[in-house]
Structure 1
């Protein structure tokens, strides 16, 4: 359950912990609602998290599927965000995250995000 540490740090908006759980050679892809695709490096993904953490909010994660392949763990999940009054902050997103054991820690090596879904 390598993803649990990342999701806990994500829910607490702990950028330093999130950074420690992302591999420096991560490959991240964001697909925006208009179809624009952004390919992000480690720095770009950290900036993405920094932007998302800029306001206080509650993150909700619904694990849809999880599996393993050799030393890798793969998780598909739906994400939503709410403000302190439980109002949706943004449209839901779907992500596919791949983790690999590195130096005794499972780190995020690939991330694919489909942003701005219809409910």
Structure 2
């Protein structure tokens, strides 16, 4: 179907509707899905465990155990605290279960790269 028989008003309405639809689709694409949050957390944990290979809690007690989980040191009450790696610790499975007490983790939205955050060293 062409635009020849639409008339100026119909064309304008058509393109306005098209633009609204495109804006809505763009917003939906840029919004992370629940699965995207979990995927981002799994990737962050994998990267963290590459740099922190041993269980922090076991090391404090004089043991050496490979770490396979990441847990927060303090309760992550905000998005910034959740994604702050200074609030993470690498743990082995037994220490992870003991420290987290099996409580499920609510993954926060990742902080976008273009976020304008003020940071202090």
Give the structure with the higher percent helix: 2
The structure, 1 or 2, with the larger RCO (C-alpha pairs under 8 Å, 6+ apart) is: 1
Give the structure with the higher percent strand: 1
- Please identify the structure whose Cα radius of gyration is greater: 2
TM-score band by shorter chain is: under 0.3
Q: State TM-score, norm by structure 2.
A: 0.25
Q: State TM-score, norm by structure 1.
A: 0.26
